[in-house]
């Protein structure tokens, strides 16, 4: 198995998710129960991922699991509103630098100097909203933890027999190689330009990399016309599916989400309602865990979280679960606190807190 290390500790299984724009994420399961906090470095084969621990902790038996966000974990934080005024023009670099300082992230020095006008207002919102306003789908947090404005470098890779499968109709290729540092978004493999990249390593399988491309261009005029007709007849058709998202931050009972794969074309979502399918349940979710999002009645303005990670997923256990009934159903309320482990119904003294009202 390829070497995988998280801050000096051996990784049993790990994943690194990279996208053409936005924040990269990583997951790692260690073969020891050891606390890892703050800044951390995950190395898989020859690829180094510099990030910040967003969630994680002990898992039985005697192991630990962590989720990392590339960079300093700050772009999902809410930053205060701020207004700018300058008759000579407000530089984009000024607004971006202020947003990065407010959330604790680090920007590469080559920031755009484009004037934004004589006045500009930053809203109170996740810091990444400022990035999207100035450089929509044109920024990313690199594997080194530095945020850059602009597109990733596009370059062809000759991987030969390392490409084990390729589905051009869906724009997906699977690669098996021990050298993955160059397999990042922007890499062109067999004519397919990578938009999303997933590197996985586990005891049961060798290192495997999967890329998702932007799709195959339609060169047929008839197919192009048919596509436009379908879009006109059903403009909301892409909102009829279920999409995988990642929890960036939690805002009271709602979630701020980022698509796991930006190649789906789905946007970031803010303050999304949670409908877990079980009445009377709410939770404090682990940041970085993955969820499934559906759009009620295919309405793009009504996304809801409908499912969470399976028992083998790293975000399976929330930090806290609250089970209760509305006060209107009972004159008196009594809350008991139960410490429960992240797996099964056996109390193991783990970190998940269950409140029964």
Q: Residues 107, 85: one domain?
A: yes
- Report the pLDDT value the prediction gives residue 334, as an integer from 0 to 100: 40
Query: Exposed, middle or buried: residue 184 (CB in 10 Å: 0-12, 13-18, 19+)?
Result: buried
Q: Residues 32, 180: one domain?
A: yes
pLDDT in tens, 330-343: 333 444 444 444 44
- Report the pLDDT value the prediction gives residue 112, as an integer from 0 to 100: 77
The residues, any chain, with a CB within 8 Å of residue 259's CB and separated by 6 or more, are: 243, 244, 245, 246, 266, 267, 268
Q: In Å, how far are 323, 355, 356 from 338, measured between CA atoms?
A: 11, 6, 8
pTM for the model: 0.83
- Check residue 230 and give left, alpha or beta (phi > 0: left; psi -120 to 50: alpha): alpha
281 falls in which pLDDT band (50, 70, 90)?
Answer: confident
- Report the pLDDT value the prediction gives residue 325, as an integer from 0 to 100: 57
Domain containing residue 271: 238-315
Has residue 231 been placed in a domain? Answer: no
Q: Residues 33, 169: one domain?
A: yes
317 falls in which pLDDT band (50, 70, 90)?
Answer: confident
Measured on CA atoms in the order 27, 28, 33, 37, is the torsion positive or negative? negative
Q: Higher pLDDT residue, 254 or 223? A: 254
- Report the pLDDT value the prediction gives residue 2, as an integer from 0 to 100: 62
235 falls in which pLDDT band (50, 70, 90)?
Answer: confident
Has residue 222 been placed in a domain? Answer: no
Using an 8 Å Cβ cutoff, are 328 and 337 in contact?
Answer: no
Nearest to 31 by CA among 50, 49, 51, 13: 13
Give the mean model confidence (pLDDT) for residues 97-108. 95
Has residue 232 been placed in a domain? Answer: no
Peptide bond into 61 cis (omega under 30): yes
Domain CATH for 205: 2.30.300.10
Has residue 65 been placed in a domain? Answer: yes
Query: What mean pLDDT, rounded, does the chain reach?
Result: 85
- 346 has pLDDT over 60: no
Q: Residues 38, 178: one domain?
A: yes
Measured on CA atoms in the order 158, 147, 11, 28, is the torsion positive or negative? negative
Look at residues 141, 161, 194 and tell me which one is the last residue of a structural domain: 141
Q: Could you give the CA distance from residue 11 to residue 31 in angstroms, rounded to a whole number?
A: 6
By residue count, the chain amounts to 357
Beta-bridge mates of residue 55: 67
Look at residues 213, 248, 264 and tell me which one is the last residue of a structural domain: 213
The SS3 assignment for 306 reads strand
Q: Residues 131, 161: one domain?
A: no
Q: Report how many domains make up the chain.
A: 4
pLDDT in tens, 144-165: 999 999 989 999 998 888 999 9
354 falls in which pLDDT band (50, 70, 90)?
Answer: low
- 228 has pLDDT over 80: no
Has residue 100 been placed in a domain? Answer: yes
Q: Residues 245, 303: one domain?
A: yes
Q: Residues 64, 157: one domain?
A: yes
* Alpha-carbon torsion angle 40, 44, 47, 51, nearest 10: -20
């Amino acid at each position: 198995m390829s070497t995988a290390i998280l801050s000096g500790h051996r990784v049993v299984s790990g994943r690194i998710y990279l996208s053409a724009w936005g924040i990269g994420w990583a997951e790692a399961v260690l073969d020891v129960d050891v606390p890892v906090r703050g800044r951390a470095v995950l190395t898989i084969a020859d690829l180094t991922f510099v990030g910040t621990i967003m969630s994680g902790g002990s898992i039985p038996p005697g192991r630990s699991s962590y989720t990392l966000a590339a960079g300093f974990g700050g772009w999902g934080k809410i930053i205060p509103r701020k207004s700018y005024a300058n008759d000579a023009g407000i530089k984009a670099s000024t607004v971006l630098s202020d947003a990065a300082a407010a959330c604790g992230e680090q920007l590469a020095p080559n920031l755009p100097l484009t004037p934004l006008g004589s006045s500009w207002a930053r809203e109170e919102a996740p810091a990444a909203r400022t990035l999207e306003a100035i450089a929509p789908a044109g920024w990313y947090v690199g594997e080194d933890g530095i945020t850059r404005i602009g597109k990733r470098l596009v370059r062809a890779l000759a991987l030969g027999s390392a490409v084990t499968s390729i589905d051009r109709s869906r724009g997906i290729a699977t690669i098996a190689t021990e050298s993955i540092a160059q397999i990042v978004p922007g890499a062109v493999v067999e004519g397919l330009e990578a938009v999303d990249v997933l590197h996985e390593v586990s005891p049961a399988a060798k290192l495997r990399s999967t890329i998702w491309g932007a799709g195959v261009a339609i060169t047929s005029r008839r197919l192009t016309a048919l596509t436009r007709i379908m879009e006109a007849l059903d403009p909301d058709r892409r909102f009829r599916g279920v999409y995988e998202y990642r929890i960036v931050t939690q805002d009271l009972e709602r979630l701020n989400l980022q698509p796991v794969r930006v190649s789906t074309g789905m946007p970031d979502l803010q303050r999304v309602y949670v409908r877990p399918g079980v009445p009377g349940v709410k939770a404090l979710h682990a940041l970085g865990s993955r969820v499934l999002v559906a759009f009620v009645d295919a309405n793009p303005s009504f996304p809801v979280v409908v499912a969470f990670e399976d028992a083998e997923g790293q975000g399976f256990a929330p930090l806290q679960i609250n089970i209760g009934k509305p006060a209107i159903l009972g004159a008196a309320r009594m809350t008991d606190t139960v410490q429960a482990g992240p797996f099964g119904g056996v109390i193991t003294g783990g970190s998940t807190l269950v409140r029964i009202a």
